[in-house]
Amino acid sequence: MRELDFTSDTSDVATLFQTVERHDCGYLLDFHSHNLFGHTRIGHLGTSQRADLAAKLNEDLKAQNCQTAIAASDKDPDGFARADAFIEPMPIAHVESGLAGDMAQFLFRTWIRNRGVVMPDRELTRLSPWLLLTLPDAPAGDVPHVTFIGNQSSFVKFFPQSIDMDAYRSPADCLPKDYRQGVAEAYHWAFEGEPCFDIQRTGYILGEGLPDMTLQRLLLRFETKTGLARVFSLVTLLEMHSRPFDSNRTDHRRWRQHGLSWHPAYQVSGPPG
């Protein structure tokens, strides 16, 4: 992708729209505007606000060369080798039927209806504060570079330092290496266009100061008509736990068979009828 240059007059609305038209990425402009200012009325922004929006869009589109690999680990390659954590793929049918929640169902249905093509959409923009967007590729065993962080996302809630680009080459760099390796495989399936839905029990894998949580995650690859692709990640906090869960392999199989009593998506052992 050709680098963008906003060094001349980044507050010029015409420059913003020329960039959007060239890359067919109007949805990104809407996402960043809604994330920064709570609306998408670009013409109502002041000079400094337009400059901030242009800088965010510029940073997003120039991110193609930001991906860096993490060092190899000598631990279990799935990254969740600790007894107090696990990650489990779940049937995508749970998302389609609504058992994973309205937001996940809406995002999945949008992906199905548009055949993976993304375009400006008012309802999708309203969902954007809960999303992460990433590049559509990453080194083996690692997660991709994050290009957009919704201000209501679980990521920014538990890793607010991730938005400090002076401290991190990529927002994902603030995640522990074991966790990054553990959740990476689903991203690589999503890169190929496969919808991915899983549940995670974090235990202590996220490090000191962060709770033991159960999360659900939906990953979908979208791209514009010109081929600019992003993986949309919707992570939902389901429960925070007072103490870790002993997640050995036997417990893992029993959990898969009987599900979790506190969430409807996990009370069935197969796709809903």
Tens of pLDDT, residue by residue over 127-140, are 999 999 999 999 88
**CA-derived radius of gyration, the chain:** 19
**Which CATH homologous superfamily contains domain 81-266?**
PAS domain (3.30.450.20)
- Whole-model pTM: value is 0.80
Confidence at 12, pLDDT banded by 50, 70, 90: low
Position 244 pLDDT exceeds 80: no
Residue 185 near residue 217 (C-beta atoms within 8 A): no
| Average model confidence (pLDDT) across the chain | 78
pLDDT score, position 60: 86
265: which 2 tokens? Answer: 């998506």
* Region(s) of the chain under CATH 3.30.450.20: 81-266
229: which 2 tokens? Answer: 């692709």
Q: Give CA–CA dist 167/165, Å, rounded.
A: 5
- Residue 262 CB burial class (10 angstroms; 0-12, 13-18, ≥19): exposed
